[in-house]
Amino acid sequence: MCFQGTLILVSHDRDFLQGLTKVVYEFKDGHLKEYLGDIDFFLEQRNLSHLREAEKRTIASAPEEKSQKNSERRLSFEQQKKKKSLTNKLSQIERDVQKLEKEIDLHDQELAQDPEITHKKADFYQIYAHKKSKLEALMSHWEVISSELEEF
């Protein structure tokens, strides 16, 4: 009788896993990655000669991640406040851009449906042009704030 189910093994012993596994799952940085093959395939995909290398690479990268988080914490209160303000401005601009794009799209649809009636509206093209120029200004402002935010 042969077992037909699934068995999950957790091991760092390559010899034990060799020939026994068909799928390898790597748990790293809070993420799960699936390798469809045995332990040798996993090592080949990761360019590793043995499992200890994977462990060493993980341990070596951890201090870098911590130093990045610490540098974020090192921002002064004023810098944090400025960053938050820029983030809020950016979000507001993005909402305004979305709203304007919808309005312009409605104008485009109206124009496409019946150009003669739309043409007879005295201020249609003036309003349309105003919204387009306002959209361009918002996009320029978005670029400026985005580049300021990247400095943090």
- What is the total count of domains within the chain? 2
pTM: 0.48
pLDDT score at 54: 61
Give the structural domain span for 38. 14-73
Please check whether residues 141 and 83 belong to one and the same domain: yes
**Average pLDDT for consecutive 10-residue bins of the chain (152 residues)?**
76 78 81 84 78 62 54 74 89 92 89 80 86 93 89 76
The residues, any chain, with a CB within 8 Å of residue 16's CB and separated by 6 or more, are none
> Same structural domain for residues 119 and 82?
yes
The pLDDT assigned to 100 comes to 93
Burial of residue 141, with CB atoms counted within 10 A of its CB: 0-12 exposed, 13-18 middle, 19 or more buried: middle
Can you tell me the distance from the alpha carbon of 35 to that of 54, in angstroms, rounded to the nearest whole number?
14
